[in-house]
Structure 1
């Protein structure tokens, strides 16, 4: 099933999801944090700081700062890789899974309200 939106409709959808997120007092994530979160939840694990930095085209310190914030929100967790202590694994959490699921629900609900 292909969904076709005009640019203004796509922008309106983005706006409605953003407004809904703000109105519901959900976690206030930056676009970079959201990209990291969706990568962790939608792409197959394992996820490492190094791998996320490469995927997003940013440095490891940028990923670390974002993960610090998202970790405090309990959206992700970090653990040393027992097989290679140099790697830090980024893992999903229950709170993060619920947040991503609600975010997906918000997108669907907003898309259904778009004028045809």
Structure 2
């Protein structure tokens, strides 16, 4: 377990991580890409509820944080493919832990008397 010990660097690193992953969609996009390269519409189908405008914005943010790679192929019309980077895959354990925490949280909320 991390202990702060009054260290502002710990808080700063957590802040940096949260800023890179902030929002409702980024981890879901990374999860979709963790199975292999996908095109825009394929990602859109795997992340239900996201609008094209939001997906485009989130992909740009993930790319600027070097979590995904955007590759444009010289075809007509141009083909664009997104892949998760090694840096992005380093979040695999985080995503797995969030998955298990989410399952436990859902059970806690559903089992709680009203």
Same fold (TM over 0.5): yes
Give yes or no for the alignment of 1:61 onto 2:37: no
CA deviation digits over 1:67-97, x for unaligned, max 9?
1111111110111134554331001111101
Q: Alignment partner for residue 31 of structure 2, among 38, 41, 46?
A: 38
Structure 1, gaps ≥5 residues long: 1-21, 112-116
Q: Indicate the residue corresponding to 1:48 in structure 2.
A: 39
Pick closer, same or farther for the CA change 1:31–1:69 going to 2, 3 Å.
Answer: same
What is the aligned residue count?
Answer: 87
- 1:94 maps onto 2:82 in alignment: no
TM-score for the superposition, normalised by structure 1:
0.58
Q: Normalized against structure 2, the TM-score is what?
A: 0.59
Structure 1 contact 81–88 (Cα < 8 Å) conserved: yes
Q: For the Cα contact (< 8 Å) 1:77–1:92, is it kept in 2?
A: yes
Query: Structure 2: which 5+ runs fail to align?
Result: 1-9, 103-114
Q: RMSD across aligned C-alpha pairs, in angstroms? A: 3.1
For the structure 1 residues 62 and 98, does the alpha-carbon distance in structure 2 shift closer, same or farther, using more than 3 Å as the test? same
